[in-house]
Chain A
């Protein structure tokens, strides 16, 4: 299989994500009509489908650790953030879930999503067993949402104050960078399943040959993705916090301890 063939043929028209997207879309419009920001939702759903059905997903499924990392970042950081941004201010969390909206839990969820699923055993299980992979996907989306709620909740009053938000994001960024550094320089395979892939699609020769991705290099790129580009996502959020801080001239007095 050539690279071109690979990118054409490995779109996996899996009905479950499509159905899920349709349900979310329907639920969203039934609940909020056009009061939210549906554009963000549309982008979130498209990214979701790309993460789960595109050649990226095929590569993440046992071939490339780095592709898995891209998927991981999309699921934890990009999709939940876009989803929260799409919600209208009238959105309220149901009471039992509201207990999750605590900065400490949010931070642990965001950082835990990175560390937990890169423990060798769990990472391996998620790569080799379909059921674990599904659990992983769902948990990443949920943990990402809990993490982002602190800075992207639909109502300003439910978000951290901008300075606190900056601390929250920066410390999370640092904690994830440390993991990225460990992955980049680890001499052993963090996720052994990617070392000797089962060549379901006959693409391995292309990956190792023309693409030049040995399993060591692959893991290094995975670690670097977590280290550098992911930090840029946090940095963008930090700058957004600063912008919010500098622009809110009408903030209510009790919040202005800054």
Chain B
């Protein structure tokens, strides 16, 4: 009842012309997680259409043998843009949209932990998208594949600006993803409602919480790689140029160290969605909650160490192949556990075959196929035969579309009523479902066989070999079914938003907290929260005579960790990944010395003196913190100013070292030692500089005197970051300056 009134008011707010001007601005300046979520989803939908059209053009080109509908270079640009867009501008934002909308509601929070950071993270998506597509105007889109293998992605082989725009766009999008991951972790750790213990988290929230950790570990690895690629391209570095002693294979390691976990970054949220919907539409609690929760964590940990299976065809040697093959096969265990859990949940349930459930069932079947062909890629000799064929294209589209997109479509149908207050049309939904399933399987099942027949991937056309033509034609026809499905989906979204059946608070009779509030939820999310004693609070309310068993103990006074500290620690973890990658790259090239300057040119004693300044600044900051806790303003200001001065002295010391090297003609393009040295110390110096700026802001605030109380946690968080920058320097100092002395 309450729900419909609010819905009506909400609708009135949208349609009232007098309020519309304000309303438009409100969407641009919003920090409300629900609106940001909708922005994410709409951006994803827009790019889904763009990348879908790109795919359509590619399939048209491939429909007939020896076709010249598209220029080869255009084809390369299309498949690069299609892959990049689908992964970074469609699936990531769509997943982030659902997480943003549903996660705070599921844990009874008012908003994300850092609403402004949340808005920042979102607006980086359109920025990244614009940068990526601006390349089209600036001399041509990148034509190097979404993996941008070196040395093809290096200036001598891709001289237009396409790859630069590509790398900067992905870098920006990576920062956005990391900021959201930090936000998710801080929200789940520090923003839960009373009674919502970690053990009572719904699976969607839990899985996305685990997923956020993968994001903060691996996206910095990619960003480090992109920074190196950009240094190669813009500053004439040599990281990935074999002709100058660089290593093209290193790029592959860095890229797949990100790229494989990325598959799980996309897939785990899909698992989370399905884990919410299958129980609701089977009218049973999930079978083996613990197994679903634990297997997600196992997948997350395993995913970090199996990237080598993307590189069997590179020639890594038998030991590496063997270990990566075994580790990759192991991932089948936790994923298999999940599939069993979902099927067992359905077993004996009163299954409601509405559109979300239809998509979930399709997801299960398609994902199983994707998993089986996935395991076949862990078998090294088989992988050698199929890696560069359409068999692989078919496999990863089964993962990306058959599993992830189907789960997202199910989630759209499932959560749209919560977001808009109205159902999506069930009839149009069924049309989308059947067209999608038929079109998808028509397009991609046949590609397995095309690959096994020997059709290579990444080619713009093919000769008229037996079976090639009809198989490709069939594949292309399938795409039109999917395009029709997408059109109907868009129509369904628009029509249902304005004229769909009213949904009410809990249209599916679901059990998690997002359904305990009106649809759409008011700005502050909840007026009052129901008691939370189990994983299904709404079931407990609806069935007071047979509630779920209480999970864990029921202590109402939970002290949640401070969100600032949680956030900054998470950020530090991600920065650690970034510097670890740079350090490992430094060590790699240090072990393969090139002619030219070596670490022996560095002035070790002088650097040690300046390093002492930096280390002492950690101590002075700590003194400043103590003074602050004792309310001694003068002492605090003094110590803080000293910290800033010491940090500044360190930077000056670094600057003079750079100056001396420049004067002797050593710069980032001289040789690999110089490239890695300037990259590593330069990024560290940049972080010191940012830390200094943060400290100066604090100094200024404290000077003005509005730093009285309640800001300790912010101050301490800045301190964590400052100490971290010092710790990184310990490692840099040991690796760059001390290590050469030991030999």
Point out residues on A near B: beta carbons under 8 Å. 163, 166, 170, 173-174, 177-178, 181-182, 184-188, 217, 220-221, 224, 227-229, 231-232, 234-235, 238-239, 242-243, 245-246, 249-251, 253, 256-258
Contacts and interface: CB of A to CB of B under 8 A. Distances in A.
A240 to B, nearest CB: 10
A217 B301 contact: no
Contacts of A256: 197, 552-553, 555, 558
Contacts of B587: 182
A25 B297 CA distance: 38
| 3 nearest A-B pairs in the assembled complex, by CB-CB distance | A224-B323, A246-B290, A242-B294
Nearest to B253: A185
B584 A242 contact: no
A242 B297 contact: yes
16 contacts: A166-B297, A170-B301, A182-B584, A184-B320, A186-B591, A187-B592, A220-B320, A227-B323, A231-B301, A232-B330, A235-B298, A242-B297, A246-B199, A246-B294, A253-B553, A257-B559
Contacts of B305: 177, 227-228, 231
B327 interface: yes
Interface string B306-336: 0000000000011110011011001000000
B553 A251 contact: yes
Interface string B8-48: 00000000000000000000000000000000000000000
* Most chain B beta carbons < 10 A, residue from A185, A229, A238, A249: A185
Contacts of A239: 294, 297-298
B555 A238 contact: no
Given A228-B323, A242-B294, A178 B317 contact: no
A239 B301 CA distance: 10
B501 to A, nearest CB: 39
B649 interface: no
A185 B319 CA distance: 12
Contacts, number: 81
Interface in B253-298: 289-290, 293-294, 297-298
B302 interface: yes
A45 B503 CA distance: 65
B487 interface: no
A253 B557 CA distance: 10
Contacts of A249: 550-553
Contacts of A217: 317-319
Contacts of A188: 591
Nearest to B249: A185
A258 B558 CA distance: 8
Contact of A238 (B290, B301, B323): B301
Contacts of B591: 186-188
B714 interface: no
* Most chain B beta carbons < 10 A, residue from A177, A228, A229, A246: A228
A177 B298 CA distance: 16
B552 A181 contact: no
A224 B301 CA distance: 16
Interface in B136-160: none
B580 interface: yes
A233 B580 CA distance: 23
Nearest to A254: B555
B733 to A, nearest CB: 17
Contacts of B304: 174, 177
A95 to B, nearest CB: 30
B619 interface: no
A257 B562 CA distance: 13
Question: Dominant SS at the A interface?
Answer: helix
A213 to B, nearest CB: 9
B592 A173 contact: no
A58 to B, nearest CB: 21
B237 to A, nearest CB: 20
Given A182-B587, A251-B553, A253-B553, A258 B197 contact: yes
Nearest to A163: B198
Nearest to A186: B591
A71 to B, nearest CB: 18
A179 to B, nearest CB: 11
A181 B584 contact: yes
A235 B295 CA distance: 11
Nearest to B577: A174
B293 A235 contact: no
A172 B558 CA distance: 28
B368 to A, nearest CB: 23
* Most chain A beta carbons < 10 A, residue from B552, B559, B587, B591: B552
B588 interface: yes
A234 B304 CA distance: 13
Given A187-B592, A217-B319, A220-B319, A257 B558 contact: yes
A234 B301 CA distance: 10
A257 B302 CA distance: 28
Contact of B294 (A182, A224, A243, A251): A243
Contact of B198 (A174, A177, A229, A258): A258
A172 to B, nearest CB: 12
Contact of A251 (B318, B326, B327, B552): B552
Nearest to B250: A185
Nearest to A236: B298
Given A242-B290, A246-B293, A185 B588 contact: yes
Given A187-B591, A246-B293, A178 B555 contact: no
A182 B587 CA distance: 8
Contacts of B553: 249-251, 253, 256
Given A163-B198, A249-B552, A256-B552, A221 B319 contact: yes
B288 to A, nearest CB: 11
A114 to B, nearest CB: 16
A226 B330 CA distance: 17
Contacts of A224: 319-320, 323
Contacts of B324: 228
Contacts of A185: 588
Nearest to A249: B552
A238 B293 CA distance: 12
A251 B588 CA distance: 48
Nearest to B301: A235
B236 to A, nearest CB: 25
Contacts of B289: 246
Given A170-B301, A177-B304, A238-B301, 18 more contacts: A163-B198, A177-B305, A217-B318, A221-B319, A224-B320, A228-B305, A231-B301, A232-B330, A243-B290, A246-B199, A246-B294, A249-B551, A251-B552, A253-B555, A256-B552, A256-B555, A258-B197, A258-B198
A235 B334 CA distance: 12
A249 B297 CA distance: 21
A163 B210 CA distance: 12
Interface string B539-574: 000000000001111010011000000000000000
A217 B316 CA distance: 11
B6 to A, nearest CB: 34
Contacts of A170: 301
A178 B585 CA distance: 12
Nearest to A240: B294
B580 A178 contact: yes
A108 to B, nearest CB: 14
A98 B320 CA distance: 42
Contacts of B293: 242, 246
A249 B319 CA distance: 45
A229 to B, nearest CB: 8
Contacts of B301: 170, 173, 231, 234-235, 238
A175 B636 CA distance: 36
A220 B592 contact: no
Interface string B196-216: 011100000000000000000
A166 B213 CA distance: 12
Nearest to B296: A242
Contacts of B323: 224, 227-229
A242 B298 CA distance: 10
Contacts of B588: 185
